[in-house]
Amino acid sequence: MTQAPTPFGARLRRAMDERGPLCVGIDPHASLLTDWGLNDDVAGLARFTRTVVEALGDRVAVLKPQSAFFERFGSRGLAVLETAVAEARERGALVLMDAKRGDIGSTMAAYAATHLDPASPLFSDAVTVSPYLGYGSLRPALDLAATHGCGVFALALTSNPEGAEFQRAVREDGRSVAATVLGHLAEENATAEGLGSYGAVVGATLGDLSAFDLAINGPLLAPGIGAQGATPADLPTVFGDAVRNVLPSVSRGVLRHGPDTGALRDAAARCADEVRAAIDQQEAQR
C-alpha cells in the first residue's frame, strides 16, 4: 500500500522551525543581472540562478522562483528553471513556484499539473494562484495539491496598491472579496493536523489588518520585506496573533548582496534571525 505523502503544511512548519521562517525569492530582474556583472541573457540567468540555489538551497526554508523572469527567455529559460527547481529540492529547500496561475476547467487543471504533478519537470512543493475567476475555479489545483502533498497560496491581500480595487470590494453579503478568499482557505484547512497546506498571500506592507480574520490555520506568505519598505519588526502589527504562521518573503533585500555566496548566506541568515526575534517577542507579550 502506497503511503500518503506528508502534507505541505507539515513540511513547511518543520522547515521554518529548523531553518528559520524565511522565503527568499529568485527574481532575476534584468537590473539585478547587471548589478551582478552578468549579461541579460540565458547564460547570465543560469549563472545567477545557480549561484542563489547553491548559496541558499541548504539553508533557507523556502526558495520562490518567479516564473515570469524565466519564461521571458522562452524554452531555454524554462530549462534553467527546471534545473533550479530540482537542485533546490535536492538541497532540502521547499520550492514555491510564484506563477500566480488562474483559469477555469481543463486549463486550470493543466496549470495545476505543471507545478503540482510529480511527473512534471517543474514539479514544486507549492504554487501561487489567483482566485479572481472565482474561488471554485481553483479546485483542480487544490485537489491535486492534496493528492501529492503540495501547497497552494491564493492571492488575498496583496502588497501592490492596485490590489485594493478588487480585494477590498464588498460583496452583497457584506464581506470583502479578500475576506471571502480567507474564509474559503480556512475551510480547506479545517481538518488539518497542525499547519494546513492552503495559504494566503498577504502583504507585509499593509499595516494593521485586524479587520480581517487571518486565522486560516494555514501559512501566510508575506511579500514586502526589504525593498518594498516593510521590516521584520512590522510583522506583529500586521499579522497579530497569526504571526507564527507567517512566511515572510524577501527578494532584492537578499539578492542585492550577490554574487558573493557568503554575503548571500549572511543576508538571508540575518533576515531570518530578525523575523524569528519579532515573532518570539510577540509571543512573549501574550
Of 50, 89, 100, 265, which one is the catalytic site residue? 100
**CA nearest to 102, candidates 197, 166, 159, 52:** 166
Give the number of other CB atoms < 10 A from CB of residue 137. 18
Q: Which residues 6+ apart lie within 8 Å of 252 measured at CB?
A: 27, 29, 32, 226, 227
- In a 13 Å sphere around the CA of 187, the CA atoms on its Cβ side amount to 9
**For this structure, is 100 an active site residue?**
yes
- Asked if residues 254 and 225 have their Cβ atoms less than 8 Å apart, the reply is no
Q: CA–CA separation, 271 vs 284, rounded Å?
A: 20
Q: CA–CA separation, 224 vs 152, rounded Å?
A: 19
Known catalytic residues are: 100
